């Protein structure tokens, strides 16, 4: 079997975007533009509830990509419907720069199935074709900001698990309202999540919540 190096892009999803040119963000300007975001994601990008992802410390390129997708409708997030319509490309770049400048507050992991989660994160499951996460998201969970691979470490386990299940649904039932398909033509995350069991999703999401 060929060595697997693909990784999870679970926090908010991933599309290869190396050919795209993004506006340069201004973190100071971005702070003033996040007032509407703070109610769900926290004043510094550290959400207090698992329904809303932590954005602090996330890469700018990744955040811009996700907000562009949400704005265009290629990524459906009911809670954000129409909220980005008035923002320009520069606004989104500034907001991304602001959140990228902050440090994430770790959600923390539970002891249950922690070893299994670590095994999946670092080595995948060769028997079922699930690759490790480290190739894209680094051993420490910091991701690869220049490449647009998101940081995962410290994210709420419930949120990560929800995104993995959505990508799995996207692999098998792309027309479903529960499906997530904004991982590009290569279907990177759909290809990964398609082979994951519920137990594996919960275990690796829990490990990620405490990864730093």
- Alpha-carbon Rg for the chain, nearest whole angstrom, is 16
Kindly report the average pLDDT of the chain as a whole number. Answer: 91
According to the model, what pLDDT value does residue 22 have?
Answer: 60
Domain membership of residue 167 as a residue range? 1-212
Identify the helix (H) or strand (E) that includes residue 41.
helix 38-41
Q: Which residue has the tokens 């999540």?
A: 193
Higher confidence at residue 47 or residue 16?
Answer: 47
Q: Which residue has the tokens 């199935």?
A: 113
Residue 10 has pLDDT above 90, yes or no: no
Residue 21 has pLDDT above 90, yes or no: no
Question: Which residue, among 134, 112, 113, 114, has the nearest Cα to 123 in the 3D structure?
Answer: 134
CATH of the domain at 193: 1.10.760.10
Which of the residue ranges 100-104, 165-169, 186-190 would you say has the lowest mean pLDDT? 186-190
Are 137 and 9 in contact by the 8 Å Cβ rule? The answer is yes
Q: Which residue has the tokens 């190096």?
A: 5
Q: Which residue has the tokens 């265009």?
A: 72
Report how many domains make up the chain.
1
User: What distance in Å separates the CA atoms of residue 136 and residue 186, rounded to the nearest whole number?
Assistant: 14
According to the model, what pLDDT value does residue 2 have?
Answer: 40
Higher confidence at residue 74 or residue 6?
Answer: 74
By percentage, how much of the chain surpasses pLDDT 70? 90
Residue 144 has pLDDT above 90, yes or no: yes
């Amino acid at each position: 079997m060929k060595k697997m190096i693909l990784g999870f892009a679970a926090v908010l999803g991933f599309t290869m975007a190396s050919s795209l040119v993004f506006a340069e963000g201004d973190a100071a300007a971005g702070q003033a533009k996040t007032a509407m975001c703070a109610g769900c994601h926290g004043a510094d990008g550290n959400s207090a509830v698992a329904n809303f992802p932590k954005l602090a410390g996330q890469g700018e390129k990744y955040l811009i990509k996700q907000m562009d997708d949400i704005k265009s409708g290629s990524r459906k997030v009911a809670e954000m419907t129409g909220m980005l319509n008035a923002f320009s490309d520069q606004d989104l770049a500034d907001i991304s720069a602001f959140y990228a400048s902050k440090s994430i507050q770790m959600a923390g992991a539970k002891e249950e199935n922690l070893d299994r989660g670590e095994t999946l994160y670092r080595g995948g499951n060769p028997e079922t074709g699930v690759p490790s996460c480290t190739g894209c998201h680094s051993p420490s969970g910091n991701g690869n900001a220049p490449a647009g691979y998101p940081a995962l470490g410290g994210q709420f386990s419930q949120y990560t698990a929800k995104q993995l299940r959505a990508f799995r649904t996207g692999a098998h039932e792309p027309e479903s309202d529960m499906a997530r398909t904004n991982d590009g033509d290569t279907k990177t995350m759909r290809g990964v999540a398609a082979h994951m069991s519920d137990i594996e999703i919960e275990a690796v999401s829990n490990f990620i919540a405490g990864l730093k």
